[in-house]
Amino acid sequence: MSPEFLAAAAGFIMLTVVVGLARILYGPGDADRVMAAQLLGTGGIASLLLVSVARNLPAAVDVALTLAMLAAFASIAFVKSATAAQGADGGPAEGGQR
């Protein structure tokens, strides 16, 4: 594929990611915001990989892989904090009513 096509595809992906930014800003819940942040991360990683191939920048692959690891850790941290807030039995956290 031509480098111009790959750069255009990266630009289109970034455009769709910008649309997802509205969900982060105006999302109804925390889970919606985290999923939108994951969309931003995934789109950024895809764009970096496309630009890396289009412009022959192997270092961008390393940056993309690092961002992918950070995104995975962020998701794990969110799930752990959400489950801790609900309590071990799936009910409300300490002091909450059942």
Per-residue pLDDT tens over the stretch 18-77: 888 877 888 788 888 888 888 888 998 999 999 999 999 999 999 999 988 988 888 888
- 93 within domain boundaries: no
pLDDT of 41: 87
- 94 within domain boundaries: no
Cβ–Cβ < 8 Å for 86, 92:
yes
Residue type, 85: A
pLDDT value at 93 more than 70? no
Q: Which domain holds residue 66?
A: 3-83
- 49 within domain boundaries: yes
Kindly report the number of other CB atoms within 10 A of residue 36's CB atom: 20
- 95 within domain boundaries: no
- 92 within domain boundaries: no
Q: What is the pTM of this model?
A: 0.72
Of the candidates 74, 18, 65, the residue with the CA atom closest to the CA atom of residue 45 = 65
Number of domains in the chain: 1
